[in-house]
Amino acid sequence: MQKLIETGEKENLKDMLRTKLVECGWRDDLREHCKEVIRSKGLERITVDELVQIITPRGRDTVPDQIKADLLQRIRQFLQST
């Protein structure tokens, strides 16, 4: 992990992941889910921490398999090159 940070590859991977998630619509879907949760619970009756606890499992579960595979491949390539 330290090598990823030192070389700047961690930031590159985060940027790639962020871009791919936006492109596939994952971010918009999760944003809509947040809005639904807030509407159902009520804005005044939910904290940010509670919202994070509710949406995190869905967020993780809905990341497309291809994006996970691409990220894993990039990490493997990095590890082999160091």
pLDDT band of residue 3 (cuts 50, 70, 90) is confident
Q: What is the pLDDT of residue 74?
A: 95
- What pLDDT, on a 0 to 100 scale, did the predictor assign at position 4? 84
**Cβ atoms within 10 Å, residue 35:** 10
25-53: average pLDDT: 95
pLDDT for residue 1 is more than 90: no
The H-assigned helical ranges of 1-82 are 2-7, 9-23, 26-41, 48-61, 65-81
Mean pLDDT over all residues of the chain? 94
As a whole number of angstroms, the distance between CA 80 and CA 71 comes to: 14
